[in-house]
Amino acid sequence: MTTLETLRTKAGVFVSIVIGIALLAFIINADTLATARAIFSSDDAIGKIAGNAISREEFENLLEYNTELYKIEYMMYSQEAPMNDRVNENLQNKTWQDLISKYVRDSEYKKLGLEISENELTDLTVMGTTLSPLITQRFTNPQTGTVDRDQLQNFVGTLSGPAEIWWIEIEKQVTDEQLLSRYSQLDTKSNYVNSLDVEHSLNGEKNNIEFSYILKDYASVADSLISYRESDIKNYYNKNKQKYKTTRSRDIEFVAFTVTPSANDYEKVMYKMEELQTKMDTIAPSAMYTFVRRNSDVPSDSTYYKKGELPAVLDSVVFNRNVGDVLPYYQEGNTYNLAGIVNFRNLPDSVKADHILFKPENPANFAKADSIFDLLKKGANFANLAKEFSDDPGSAANGGELGWFAFKSMVRPFSDSCFFRPVGSLIKVKTQFGTHIIKIRDAKLYNNKVQLATVKKNVTPSQETYQTFYAQANKIAAQGKGSVERFRAACAAEGLQPRVENNITLESKSIAQYQQVSNLIHWMYEAKEGDVSGILEIDDKKTYIVATLVGSRDAGIAPVEKVKSRIIPEIVKEKKAEYLIAQMSEATKDATTIDDVATKLGVSVTSVSPAINFNSSYIPTLRTTEYKLLGAVASSPENKLSEPVTGEIGVYLYFITSITENPQAQTPESIKSRLEMNNYSTLYRILYEKANIVDNRGRFY
């Protein structure tokens, strides 16, 4: 805040280059940002970060603060911030990331003594030769391409209300940006690649190796030849526990009943449309839009359309009818439409115009627009005034020229002013972007166009329809209650096949094609394996779901019982490998070449091309990565039949035919650079892993 205090003493008249009068009227008080919310009084934690339990109250307070900042950003441009499910999700994610930064990165900065002084912050935000990109991207004048320092300093020096809150957040972001940069420099400088690392990598690619191999696939050994005991499973599990490290997730089976309109629902709307058509037939064209406003589920579109732009059912007849005619209603999906002809006009497809824009941020612009409009009516040069006064830098540079444009390419008030006026007209009109003075230069491609007033009635499920679907779901929930087996039996009795969804995390935002599934997520993380849910409403209460929890995993090493089905194939593969190794060893006793062994085993010999080296990531002739074979080949001499090597898909025997120097081997310098790049940001990964972050947001949102 030293920046603010210093500049307040120097500031003159407030010149806001960013925030309009609407922003300054918007006040965020302390009560708004720290509301005590009774519904969030639960002791359940949103999550855990670096040993710190994140309470729901802490999360909600920061979320509310971030939401207000988001709204302020829009108010800076005199726009209303859109709020929807996607925006809310993004704000929740930002809030969670802010908390991670607070408890992971910020605490690390503090341990290392990293900080940004007030003088440094002032230089980066207002006074310095080089400003932070966060400042330049917000305060650069689009007409000059540079930051106006006087305006910036006046702006900062006269801050108040929400503008001050916004600026404090900008200062915080600049501070975070600088601390992250310094920490990254420490990270980079701590990643030392020594000469042994470089030498090892050089040796790995200095030679190119050509070889041939034979493969005995595990599938060639019948499962009936393999036996194993329970102790084999436990021994394998104890040796390979890290393979079975799991994240928290759930498996469910479910049936879904998505509520859709019934035949009776469609019939009711059809009767309504017939009634409306009878009434609309008696209405004058001038009253049709009023009729639509009173009866339509969707606002009517007053656009003029030429032939070929309307639905085929209208397009084929409307241009042969008269003003005032009401056309037969027709169906499009779940909507019935009833159109009346309001007007026909001969209108252009394209208009050429110039404009001068006065943005609404500065109240003085209203009077300025009136003055310039009066000058233009008296014959002043439009292009010169556009270059001097227009707030649209793109067109101002060309004297206000917009070129040719179609009706729908501009906002409606602007297009209405241009397409319904004669060429040569001078017009003043307001849109959400400000006040425009428009000069219509030309128009072309005139067509007979029709304006329709259209009543739209959506077919939606009735209460009776909802009750029918609810009864179906309730039958499954009631008869299936108690166990997975009872759930499956209830579904089978109704001819339903449950869907299976595995590995659903607490952070999941959708399941299969269904969205807004928080009710289902909440239930499965409170339930026990074998539980059957009641009726859960998802997808904005458009779908009823009944589910059973068939599997659950918590973070950590999965118990052996949970992973037995994954262990058994590995044991079988190991025992098949032993069987094939013995078979191969027998075949090599009297063999002198790899072809002799292949003949005895009844397999073919495969030659590898192009050549490989130790740093290769795969063997071109194989459909999977065989690292054991790759490593064995790279460390073997040429002209010698190998021992059997176990791989992912079978057992191999190989013969190296040549080892030659690799002409494309990298230099020590390039290898060192590559290794340093591979090590970059390792420190961040370790920090976040050690923080043991637990995200429980899915239980609440």
Cβ–Cβ under 8 Å, residues 536 and 542:
no
Q: What share of the chain is helix, strand, coil (3-state, %, to 5)?
A: 45, 20, 30
Write the DSSP symbol of residue 248: S
β-bridge mates for residue 695, sequence order? 47
Cβ–Cβ under 8 Å, residues 323 and 344:
yes
| Angle at which helices 382-389 and 364-377 cross, to 10° | 170
Tell me how far apart the alpha carbons of residues 243 and 545 are, in angstroms, rounded to a whole number.
Answer: 34
Q: How many beta carbons lie within 10 A of that of residue 452, not counting itself?
A: 22
Domain 249-260+462-554 architecture: Roll (3.10)
Dump pLDDT digits (tens) for 141-196. Answer: 666 677 777 778 877 877 777 778 888 888 888 898 888 888 877 777 777 777 88
Tell me how far apart the alpha carbons of residues 580 and 582 are, in angstroms, rounded to a whole number.
Answer: 5
β-bridge mates for residue 563, sequence order? none
pLDDT lower than 50: segments of the chain: 1-43
CA nearest neighbour of 131 among 171, 160, 182, 169: 171
CATH class of 261-460: alpha beta
Residue 171: phi, psi to the nearest 5?
Answer: -60, -40
Q: Which residues contact 109 (CB under 8 A, 6 or more apart)?
A: 115, 179, 183
* Three-state secondary-structure class, residue 243: helix
Q: What local confidence, expressed as pLDDT, does residue 679 receive?
A: 63
Residue 642: phi, psi to the nearest 5?
Answer: -80, 170
Q: What local confidence, expressed as pLDDT, does residue 628 receive?
A: 93
Dump pLDDT digits (tens) for 260-302. Answer: 999 999 999 999 999 999 999 999 999 999 999 999 999 888 8
- Written as six digits, the tokens of 259 are 């509520």
Instruction: Locate CATH 3.10.50.40 in the chain.
Output: 249-260+462-554, 261-460
Q: What local confidence, expressed as pLDDT, does residue 40 receive?
A: 36
Cβ–Cβ under 8 Å, residues 535 and 248:
no
Tell me how far apart the alpha carbons of residues 491 and 547 are, in angstroms, rounded to a whole number.
Answer: 11
Q: Would you state the torsion angle of the CA atoms of residues 464, 470, 472, 473, taken in this order, to the nearest 10 degrees?
A: 170
* Three-state secondary-structure class, residue 210: strand
Dump pLDDT digits (tens) for 581-605. Answer: 999 999 999 888 999 999 999 999 9
Q: Per DSSP, which regions of 171-313 are E strands? A: 207-217, 245-246, 249-258, 304-305
First to last CA, the chain: 36
Predicted TM-score (pTM) of the model is 0.60
* Three-state secondary-structure class, residue 660: strand
Cβ–Cβ under 8 Å, residues 94 and 59:
no
Q: What local confidence, expressed as pLDDT, does residue 481 receive?
A: 94
Tell me how far apart the alpha carbons of residues 104 and 173 are, in angstroms, rounded to a whole number.
Answer: 16
